């Protein structure tokens, strides 16, 4: 006989029932179902039925339920931690993803930085390189920095073919304009036609600023007719990476979220170029929010190998220079965004000293890393553009007057230049034959977490600029979910203390690199990630120098004309951009790799051009 009352104990509740066989049977069934829904730990420890012989549930359904319950428990625990950071807006999947990334990537970097700079108390060593200025309105004296002395160009005649005009350098195009062999308006027409012609395949242009271009070109022609010459960029078309604001035109940042954004801001670099008479013909592709080469309209292709993408995020500037769609362009770099696409697309580019070019009106990823720089046909063109856009921007506290020597007057025979293990030896040998003292070199420092320091710096700063974007869930619209969304979710868990420790570690890196930099410049790989991180953290300039071409990997046949561009870097200490420019000009003065044209009009017989959806591809592009 069953006792008068039965007390049933389970982990989560206690129930009293009356004596009844039916109730007993129902109770056993209820207990069985309850066990299915309980966690694995609860099954192992304490699910006790009315009978002393009750067994732990071992069915497949129970196992799957246990797994789901454990995942929910894990996420629930994480939610409490996230709430302390005021970041409990993430869903369970994102929190678990962030936890995984933190364990694998974030925590090891935190520990490395602590070991570098946090073992001694007091904070007297390795100060952060972050800059603060409490002046509310910055007033600068007139920037009277002496300008460079450009070489003169004579006896340049207008080519018969527009393709040949499109690949002329800035000084040659300027000579044609000044000698009235071509007008700025006519030149604008040539380049706008090329933008329209090649963009359906390359996906390198976001907005063609046609009305503005013809207006500015007409003004440039009128000024010259009145005897007013604004300098070497007078009447020369160019493009801007679409993170740079121009009034009345979209500044999309390459992002679906911001693709209709119009900023009523005139970026400082745009002002400088406009005052020099340059003519804006297009806003060029940036990878979404300045990351890689994927943007809301597609993915930018490499003119030298159109089945390959450019990398980024200055994807549009690099592709457009390579394909002769603009004579020069302005890109930006926080960590490799000029160097990588320039190297892949076979163009010459300068990532200048940090602070050399003002950034007002430009999307900011990291105030202590962002830089604007020129992508061009040659080092001579890079020097001309840098000379126009450098100087103090009154609204950018990190920008400053940098009194560079004239790169056209540098005596390279008085320079000692190092070369490291991954340097392209053709560059080393050419410079040596031109009288430069070339010596083996290594850049020595003890910091092992260089790449982690850069990631902490860039990601935390970026998240500060896009906090609302993340909190509102707009990161779910991002074009490549394994890029900014993943990085910035993980950055949410980097504490202020650990961020500052990374900056102090960066300060130590700067000290060690400065001490190790015993040469005037050095030659080395421009796209090695460690060097990219070191160069950007220290703020040193680098020239990306095309040095030739090699066969593509797995060519369709030996008749393909597609190529892989090969490049190297010439690095100089901060404020010595003129040294890197002078050395590159010396190299390019006796080589012609930078003058080569990609086979976009003349592919091999077995090559194919990818056909983007809904693209209208002019027949001329398909010419074999």
pTM: 0.85
Tens of pLDDT, residues 270-309: 999 999 999 999 999 999 999 999 999 999 999 999 999 9
Amino acid 526: pLDDT: 98
Residue among 183, 184, 313, 449 flagged as catalytic: 313
Furthest C-alpha separation in the chain:
118
Residue among 38, 288, 322, 337 flagged as catalytic: 337
Q: What is the DSSP string of 360-382?
A: TTB--S-TTT-EEEEEESSHHHH
Q: Which two tokens stand for residue 34?
A: 């309850």
Amino acid 593: pLDDT: 98
Residue the block writes with tokens 């009145």: 226
d(CA 437, CA 78): 59
Q: Is 275 a catalytic residue?
A: no
φ/ψ bin of 292: left (φ > 0), alpha (ψ from -120 to 50), beta (otherwise):
left
Contact (CB, 8 A) for 294 and 304: no
Contact (CB, 8 A) for 430 and 590: yes
β-partners of residue 15 are 8
> pLDDT under 70 in the chain at which residues?
1-73, 134, 137-145, 611-624
Q: Is 241 a catalytic residue?
A: yes
Contact (CB, 8 A) for 300 and 312: yes
Amino acid 146: pLDDT: 81
State the fold for domain 162-443+517-595. Answer: Amidase signature (AS) enzymes (3.90.1300)
Cα torsion 479, 482, 485, 488: sign: negative
Amino acid 123: pLDDT: 77
Q: Is 128 a catalytic residue?
A: no
How do the domains of the chain map onto residue ranges? 162-443+517-595
Amino acid 29: pLDDT: 42
């Amino acid at each position: 006989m069953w006792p008068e009352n039965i007390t049933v104990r389970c982990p989560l509740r206690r129930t009293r029932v009356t004596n009844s066989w039916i109730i007993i049977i129902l109770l056993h069934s209820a207990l069985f179902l309850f066990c299915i829904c309980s966690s694995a730990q609860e099954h192992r420890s304490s699910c006790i039925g009315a009978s002393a012989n009750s067994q732990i549930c071992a069915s497949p359904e129970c196992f799957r339920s246990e797994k789901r319950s454990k995942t929910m428990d894990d996420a629930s625990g994480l939610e409490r931690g996230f709430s302390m950071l005021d970041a409990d807006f993430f869903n369970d999947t994102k929190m678990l993803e962030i936890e995984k990334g933190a364990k694998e990537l974030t925590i090891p970097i935190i520990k490395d930085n602590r070991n570098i700079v946090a073992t001694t108390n007091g904070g007297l060593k390795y100060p952060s390189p972050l800059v603060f200025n409490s002046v509310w309105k910055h007033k600068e004296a007139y920037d009277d920095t002496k300008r460079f002395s450009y070489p003169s160009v004579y006896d340049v005649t207008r080519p018969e073919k527009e393709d040949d005009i499109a690949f002329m350098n800035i000084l040659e195009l300027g000579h044609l304009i000044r000698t009235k062999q071509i007008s700025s308006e006519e030149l604008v027409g040539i380049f706008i036609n090329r933008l329209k012609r090649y963009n359906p395949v390359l996906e390198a242009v976001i907005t063609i600023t046609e009305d503005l271009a013809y207006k500015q070109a007409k003004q440039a022609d009128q000024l010259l007719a009145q005897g007013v010459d604004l300098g070497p960029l007078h009447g020369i078309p160019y493009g801007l990476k679409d993170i740079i604001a121009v009034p009345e035109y979209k500044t999309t940042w390459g992002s679906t979220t911001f693709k209709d954004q119009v900023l009523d801001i005139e970026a400082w670099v745009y002002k400088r170029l406009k005052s020099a008479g340059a003519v804006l013909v297009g806003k060029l592709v940036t990878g979404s929010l300045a990351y890689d080469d994927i943007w809301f309209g597609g993915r930018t292709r490499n003119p030298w190998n159109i089945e390959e993408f450019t990398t980024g995020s200055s994807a549009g500037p690099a592709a457009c220079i390579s394909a002769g769609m603009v004579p020069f362009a302005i890109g930006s770099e926080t960590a490799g965004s000029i160097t990588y696409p320039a190297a892949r697309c076979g163009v010459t580019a300068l990532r200048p000293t940090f602070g050399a070019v003002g950034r007002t009106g430009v999307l900011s990823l990291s105030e202590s890393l962002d830089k604007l720089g020129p992508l061009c046909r040659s080092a001579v063109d890079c020097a001309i553009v840098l000379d126009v856009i450098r100087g103090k921007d009154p609204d950018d506290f990190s920008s400053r007057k940098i009194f560079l020597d004239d790169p056209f007057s540098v005596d390279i025979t008085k320079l000692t230049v190092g070369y490291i293990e991954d340097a392209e030896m053709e560059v080393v040998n050419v410079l040596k034959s031109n009288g430069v003292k070339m010596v083996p070199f290594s850049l020595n420092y003890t910091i092992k977490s260089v790449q982690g320091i850069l990631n902490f710096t860039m990601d935390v700063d970026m998240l500060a600029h896009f906090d609302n974007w993340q909190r509102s869930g707009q990161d779910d619209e991002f074009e490549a979910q394994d890029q900014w969304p993943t990085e910035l979710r993980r950055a949410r868990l980097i504490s202020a203390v650990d961020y500052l420790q990374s900056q102090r570690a960066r300060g130590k890196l700067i000290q060690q690199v400065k001490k190790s930099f015993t040469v005037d410049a050095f030659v080395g790989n421009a796209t090695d990630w460690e060097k990219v991180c070191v160069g950007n953290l220290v703020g040193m300039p680098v020239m990306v120098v095309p040095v030739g071409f090699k066969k593509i990997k797995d060519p369709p046949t030996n008749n393909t004309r597609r190529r892989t561009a090969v490049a190297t870097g010439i690095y100089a200490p901060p404020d010595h951009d003129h040294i890197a420019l002078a050395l590159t000009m010396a190299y390019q003065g006796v080589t012609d790799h930078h003058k080569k044209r990609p086979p976009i009009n003349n592919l091999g017989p077995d090559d194919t051009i990818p056909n983007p959806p809904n693209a209208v591809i002019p027949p001329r592009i398909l010419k074999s």
